[in-house]
Structure 1
């Protein structure tokens, strides 16, 4: 029995424009969110989304359905890789501003309970405010669940750089979260 996802992928693979339109309508919002996590700005995210869909439609005939959710996962990976390509091309991954972070004592990471008190859009704003390299490593490690070795290979950096950027990203986020919680009196 074919699922809707499988039928949609097969239709796109045959060049069916109605299937392509449905695929775009169904997944564009989700993939825009993925692109935004990496670029940090809407205009760049929209450009990356466009490029990602060109790649998706150009290679969907080679996609192999592996069960429910496999099409979505495949497209998310293409969106992430397209965003990383753009960041590398613009040489934004190596630009890491310390913004006064150097010399500041480490901050205790907020608990899951404390973080749950913060609206999702506020948390996403905090992540988007991270320097490009920090944000990229944070997303790849915490959201996409890549190892530091995999991140290092993807970004052309060493594992220690990946680990260091993740640590700094977490410290910056912890400071922002603590300040927000204090401001709200929580």
Structure 2
């Protein structure tokens, strides 16, 4: 680990405001990107970002200088985003559809790849329903397996696979619609 980062972490453990500001500045771009991927819009992402940084500073003394600090921080941000989405689901009484969960879901690797700008892709991901967006981000960006996602979100692995398939399908439709509009 970089010596400067170690010093910054130690300053944060000691509640040094300048150290916290420096760490915030250093990690903000990456951690804010996580919030944008999980939340539907910038306002929700801003709220999660702020709350997750508060949690990070409250728990920074628990970091044991083992493994990547950035990875440790990312887990806090992902977990906070997931918690916000879980609370939102409970309030809205959203239930996961159980239809076709036992069907095998094939990976669509035979389809041609389509180039889309990062900003456009992020916009489309943010428009996904919450469950789809959570699963898509955990699987594609965070590298979780369907079993790990299922354990984390207390659902069946088949549900995770189904929601990922639906998320990919919706993204494909949105991207194709956008491409067709450009061609017209």
| Native 8 Å contact 1:95 1:131 kept in 2 | no
Name the structure 1 match of 2:165. 167
Sort the Cα spacing of 1:66 and 1:141 in 2 relative to 1 into closer, same or farther, 3 A.
same
Name the structure 2 match of 1:139. 137
Name the structure 1 match of 2:52. 52
In the aligned structure 1, how far is the partner of 2:42 from the partner of 2:121? 16
In the aligned structure 2, how far is the partner of 1:155 from the partner of 1:97? 12
Deviations 1:69-107 (A, max 9, x none): x11111111000001111111216974799xxxxxxx9x
Q: What is the CA distance between 1:128 and its match in structure 2?
A: 0.8
Please, what TM-score do these two structures have when normalized by structure 2?
Answer: 0.83
Question: Deviation above 4 Å: which 4+ runs of structure 1?
Answer: none
How many residues are paired up?
A: 173
In the aligned structure 1, how far is the partner of 2:4 from the partner of 2:76? 21
Deviations 1:20-51 (A, max 9, x none): 01111222232122112111111111111111
In the aligned structure 1, how far is the partner of 2:177 from the partner of 2:150? 31
Sort the Cα spacing of 1:2 and 1:44 in 2 relative to 1 into closer, same or farther, 3 A.
closer
| Native 8 Å contact 1:32 1:45 kept in 2 | yes
> What are the within-5 Å matches in structure 2 for residues 73-92 of structure 1?
73-91=71-89
| Native 8 Å contact 1:65 1:71 kept in 2 | yes
Please, what TM-score do these two structures have when normalized by structure 1?
Answer: 0.83
Q: What is the CA distance between 1:56 and its match in structure 2?
A: 0.6
In the aligned structure 1, how far is the partner of 2:35 from the partner of 2:155? 21
- For structure 1, list consecutive stretches of 5 or more residues without a partner in the other structure: 99-105
> What are the within-5 Å matches in structure 2 for residues 1-186 of structure 1?
2-66=2-66, 70-91=68-89, 95=94, 111-112=112-113, 114=114, 116=115, 118-185=116-183
- For structure 2, list consecutive stretches of 5 or more residues without a partner in the other structure: 98-105
| Native 8 Å contact 1:152 1:162 kept in 2 | yes
In the aligned structure 2, how far is the partner of 1:73 from the partner of 1:65? 11
Q: Alpha carbon RMSD of aligned pairs, Å?
A: 2.6
